[in-house]
Amino acid sequence: MRRPDFITAEEAVDRIKSGTTICTIGMTLVSACEAILKVLEKRFLETGKPNQLTYVHTCGQSDCIAGGAYRMAHEGMTKRVIGGYWGLCPNMMELIYQNKIEAYNLPQGQMANMFHSMALREPGKISKIGLGTFIDPRIEGGKMNSRTKCLEDIIDVVNIDGEEYLRYKEIPIDTLLIRGTYADEEGNISAEEEAMVLEVLPAVMAAKRFGGQIICQVKKVLKTDTISPKNVIVPGVLIDAVVVCENPLEEHRQSSSWYYDPAYSGQAVTCKETNETLPLNIEKIIARRALMELEADSVINVGAGIPNDVIGGIITEEGIKDDVTITIESGIYGGQPARGVDFGVAKNAKALIPHDRQFEYYSGAGVDYAFMGAGEMDCSGNVNATKLGDKIPGAGGFIDITAGAKNVIFCSTFTGKGLKVGFDEEGIHILEEGKIKKMVKEVQQISYNGKIAAEMNQNMIFVTERAVFCLTPDGPLLVEVAKGVDLQKNILEQMEFEPLIADDLRYTDPCIYREQWLGLKTMLNMRKRKV
């Protein structure tokens, strides 16, 4: 029987050669192969090898401090990055911004599902996701800096039965790094204590199709036949090498902020969830107003930033967890989402499905409501959340999720960098205006195409602390303003374009500015979603 080699992290790095393509599977620091990546980084910094690597990853893989993609972000070590998101990896964003690295950004969901197409020897991943955005090769082709613009396209446009699609081309993988909790003596891998299911198996199948090697980091090796066959996420015959982590407290953490909590991996249910009242600040005000669009019995997605960090907390605070279903792109249903650098995991989740399968739902049927962060909006209703000056986070799941959602609710401050506000029970007061205007003539990058969304009759709402817009075929329509702000001074003069203004322009309900609960439970009982 074919069995993997059981080797050290140093021996694993010996197998990674300069000029090859390496792929890692993880999200934030969940399932990050830190024991191997730490040695890989150290080896390069000491010897200059391996170098000129192509680094492939679907999700944001870091925690803004050190791990994951951070370890690959060195000039000369990585020649090219093909990734879904870099918002948690400032040093990778800096390399991209300074043109020190070739950089392609692809929608996270399309990347996760590309592995299926690659494994099946299909001519590429065919999808409408990305049309009309910066992913479209007629616009930018996902190329994130000038160094990359002159290089080959890895996406092209194809016509099938008279309709346009994007074809995401295959990316041959030489080395795939994956993580499990345990391996048995035959190399069968389980993932009981991992906080996400991810897209491990399809990535393994894709790498094997190209003759790539599979190296898996685990906590411990168990005797043969002690892992239930149903718990095996990758059969041992597909694994080339297993590395047992020698320092799991630091290099095999369930997430960045904690080593292991069974409530996040579905192995236990905590008796009491955190039910703290969130402080009343500008983020909470925005999230409250966004949630007022909600209908009962809806399935929602919360994206990174204001949605994930605040909306989940408000839903718990208002007692409506049984009235809506929260999903997260990693494959989470229900539970209490973690915040910040631990995005993508949830305590006491009702279901954990594979990351790639979740995007089948988002891109196909689509969620009822997608609550997403945003950076800019222009006069056509285009939204930019992927490239803002020297900050180049990339798409993540933004493009996949917004393309399929029935309702898209963007959450953003009206201006950026230095905005200070005060509020009382009647409204909001601008104490110091932000230096950066977010309502611009033309967005720096099209992450969401307003024209296409309007043609699809998608309901899009753009919520800020002082104004609410909805998307029309003629562009953004100002439908609501906060009491306490001057329409001309605080809104129109802070925009680079003149919006349409509703004939029945109304004031925002002042309840969002008050300390007491909104009463979302009552609101939802009055608005049941029609199936």
Q: Which pLDDT band, with edges at 50, 70 and 90, does 340 fall under?
A: confident
pLDDT at 526: 75
221 and 341: one domain?
A: no
Closest CA to 429 of 419, 440, 417: 419
Q: Is residue 447 part of a domain?
A: yes
Residue 276 has pLDDT above 80, yes or no: no
Instruction: Report pLDDT digits (tens) over 127-167.
Output: 999 999 999 999 999 999 999 999 999 999 999 999 999 99
Tell me: pLDDT of 243 over 60.
Answer: yes
- Quick one: 178 and 321 in the same domain? no
Cβ proximity of 329 and 397 under 8 Å: yes
Please tell me the predicted confidence (pLDDT) of residue 529: 59
Does a structural domain hold residue 263?
no
Residue 525 has a pLDDT of 77
Catalytically active residues, by annotation: 329
Euclidean distance between CA atoms 40 and 304, whole angstroms: 29
Q: How confident is the model at residue 288 (pLDDT cuts 50, 70, 90)?
A: very high
pTM: 0.95
Cβ neighbours for 90, distance < 8 A, ≥ 6 positions apart: 64
pLDDT, tens digit, 9 for 90 and up, residues 111-129: 999 999 999 999 999 999 9
Q: Which two tokens stand for residue 268?
A: 């236990």
Helices and strands of the chain, counted as H and E runs: 14, 34
pLDDT at 438 over 70: yes
294 and 245 in one domain? Answer: no
* Predicted local distance difference test score (pLDDT) of residue 272: 60
Residues 376 and 386: their CA atoms lie apart, in Å, by 10
Q: Domain boundary residue among 251, 273, 299?
A: 251
Look over the chain and give the mean of its residue pLDDT values, rounded to a whole number. 95
Establish if 277 belongs to a structural domain.
no
Q: How confident is the model at residue 278 (pLDDT cuts 50, 70, 90)?
A: confident
Under the banding of pLDDT at 50, 70 and 90, the label for residue 426 is: confident
- Does 125 map to a domain? yes
Of 208, 234, 251, at which residue does a domain stop?
Answer: 251
Task: Give backbone dihedrals phi and psi of 13, rounded to 5 degrees, phi first.
Answer: -65, -30
Closest CA relative to residue 72, chosen from 314, 57, 58: 57
pLDDT digits (tens, 9 = 90+) for 71-102: 999 999 999 999 999 999 999 999 999 999 99
Angle at 513 between CA 509 and CA 519, to 5 degrees: 65
- HEC sequence for 120-189: CCCCCEEECCCCCCCCCCCCCCCECCHHHHCCCCCEEEEEECCEEEEEECCCCCCEEEEECCEEECCCCE
> Distances in Å between the alpha carbon of 393 and those of 72, 170, 241, 402, 417?
16, 23, 33, 17, 17
- The reply to whether omega before 307 is within 30° of 0 (cis) is no
Last residue of a domain, one of 229, 251, 273: 251
Residues 287 and 178 in one domain: no
In CATH, what number is assigned to the domain containing residue 157? 3.40.1080.10
pLDDT classification of 356: cutoffs 50, 70, 90: very high
Tell me whether residue 418 is in a domain: yes
User: H or E element: which one contains 462?
Assistant: strand 459-463
Residues composing the chain? 531
Nearest to 131 by CA among 149, 157, 102, 169: 157
The pLDDT of residue 66: 87
Over residues 366-390, the pLDDT tens digits come to 999 999 999 999 999 999 999 998 9
Q: Give me the domain span that covers residue 359.
A: 282-524
Consecutive H or E run containing 403: helix 398-404
What is the percent of the chain with per-residue pLDDT over 70, rounded to a whole number? 98
What sign does the dihedral 88-93-95-101 (CA atoms) show? positive
Task: Report how far residue 71's alpha carbon sits from residue 91's, in angstroms, rounded to the nearest whole number.
Answer: 10
- CB atoms near residue 277 (< 10 Å): 12
Say yes or no: 336 and 377 in one domain: yes
Quick check: is 262 in a domain?
no
Q: CA-to-CA distance for 355 and 61, rounded, in angstroms? A: 14
pLDDT at position 1: 82
- Whether residue 308 is found in the same domain as residue 238: no
Q: What is the pLDDT of residue 528?
A: 66
Q: What is the dihedral of CA 300, 301, 302, 303, to 10 degrees?
A: -160
Shared-domain flag, residues 370 and 421: yes
CA dist., res. 348 & res. 356, Å (int) = 21
Using the predicted structure, report yes or no on whether residue 14 has a pLDDT greater than 90.
yes
User: Residues near 35 by Cβ (< 8 Å), separated by ≥ 6?
Assistant: 9, 217, 243, 245, 246, 247, 251, 252
Q: Are residues 89 and 169 in the same domain?
A: yes
90 and 165 share one domain: yes
Rounded to whole angstroms, the Cα distance separating 312 from 234 reads: 33
Same domain, 481 and 349: yes
- With both helix axes pointing from N to C terminus, report the angle between 355-363 and 108-119 in degrees, rounded to the nearest 10: 110
**H-run or E-run covering 260:** none
pLDDT at 301: 95
Closest-CA residue to 459 (of 402, 398, 386): 402
- Per-residue pLDDT of 251-266, as tens digits, reads 999 999 999 999 999 9
Q: Is residue 45's pLDDT more than 80? A: yes
Question: Is the same domain home to 247 and 286?
Answer: no
**CA triple 266-225-252, angle to 5 deg:** 45
**Cβ proximity of 308 and 377 under 8 Å:** no
Domain count, the chain: 2
Q: Does residue 228 share a domain with residue 356?
A: no
